[in-house]
Structure 1
């Protein structure tokens, strides 16, 4: 399984929704990060939507990635026929073989039947291009619903992008989610986390930790997913707890990434 980084490794530096008041980490900067960390895989998520880049920037991205021998994976949010077709075109342009999708947007939550129909419509193009589409387990649907989608589509070209924390938002624990979705997993999001009781004792808070320093049993997770032989890549994602200002938060995010990749490269990953 190849290890890589993502735009969600540097979520604060890439930019959070609605905050465009500073010079954000762009696609070339992310390739710089990969080079500095010694990894050869970069996944672009919906927080840096590639369909908004100019043709020149996309061309430069593909050229740079090939020159430094860095594989690319791309992702989008909002699973529709048009958006799927658009991103398959980007896969072709950038020589990408994994396309990760979050189904929903803030204003779009299609029923499961619609999701299945869209994925079936995309199958001929996926087969023709050799692209695998991974649906991310976000927090509206339960793991069994994601499994149902994949079973109904019935193709190895469609699987699950398994995130280690997202399903907590749907009230599901990691072991339950992994037991259900590991057989379909084509891409893994490694996001370590901590859970602590709030000072007033009325509830818990879930937030991020550097990889290997939280509650996520990463060796176990990798072993469980690897058993099925479908998952070829794993990318580091981070929920970095914000500091007193943006600059300090971004600096912490960078430190966490260095610590996390150092830990992860000691496991069963290739770089």
Structure 2
């Protein structure tokens, strides 16, 4: 398995709260400097407006740094997925992550299967894998019904068990159910903390190894279920809350979490 970093690990540093948001080349260079082997450009809206020359520059930067690129988007409408497939070809990407729902489209399983059956054959022809992420808006059972309904070696699951907790699905159950279909793993830890006055909880990210993610068991389950597990990339993400002290403190902690996560993964080899 290769270890990499997602744009979500730079969430605050390229947000509009940053005095000078990080650029995509800066994120790539930082990933390489930390020892990352892959970079997932995930839910990064500017990439959709890049022309061929800009995409070529991104690919050249990644090549120079020795990074494998992945893409991430949302939705299953064929036109949108084919747009990302075209970008994937230009970026030499072999994994595109998506989600079933968008802000204006929430297909049921039958519609999702129908739409994906239009788009996935093009991914098959291009040798690109499409992964649908586990998350709270869609039950794991429904997500797997879609994957099984399309029945393609080029359609699988992007495993992020922390997302499904908000649907009252246990991470261990999500891992067990999806393991045979996993094509990509988002690695982020998570924990509940009591709110002030002990009234309710906050569910948020925490440094890898300090929360509820049973990382070793997750990887062991995927390895046991997938003969090709060595080809599955593990991608670092965070759920880092904004810090009361402001941007500098938030950016500093985001950087620390990213370094800690990638170092932990590299030590786990």
The TM-score bracket by the shorter chain reads over 0.9
Aligned mates of 2:130, 2:197 — CA distance in 1: 44
For 1:163-186, what per-residue CA distance to the aligned partner results, in whole angstroms no more than 9, with x for missing partners?
Answer: 131111222110111111111110
| Equivalent in the alignment of 2:198 | 201
Return closer, same or farther for 1:122/1:221 CA change in 2, 3 Å cut-off.
Answer: same
SS at match of 2:8: coil
Structure 2 counterpart of 1:8: 8
| Structure 1 residue matching 2:71: 3-state secondary structure | strand
What is the TM-score of this pair, normalised by structure 1? 0.93
- The match for 1:212 is 209
Q: Corresponding residue for 2:178?
A: 181
Residue number in structure 2 paired with 1:55: 52
Could you tell me whether the CA contact under 8 Å between 1:7 and 1:48 is conserved in 2? no
TM-score norm. by structure 2 comes to 0.93
Q: 1:176 to 1:49 in 2, by over 3 A?
A: farther
1:105 aligns with 2:106: no
Q: How far has the Cα of 1:199 moved from its partner?
A: 3.0
1:49 Cα deviation after fit: 4.6
1:131-184 deviation digits (Å, cap 9, x = unpaired)? 000001121111111111111111110000011311112221101111111111
Quote the RMSD (CA, aligned, Å).
Answer: 1.6
The answer on whether the counterparts of 1:197 and 1:203 sit within 8 Å (CA) in structure 2 is yes
For 1:4 and 1:236, the matched residues in 2 are separated by: 6
**Paired residues, number:** 265
Shift of 1:26: 2.0
Which of 145, 150, 156 is the equivalent residue of 1:148? 145
**SS state of the match for residue 209, structure 2?**
coil
More helix by share: 2
1:129 aligned partner: 126
Mean Cα displacement is larger for which, 197-206 or 212-221?
Answer: 197-206
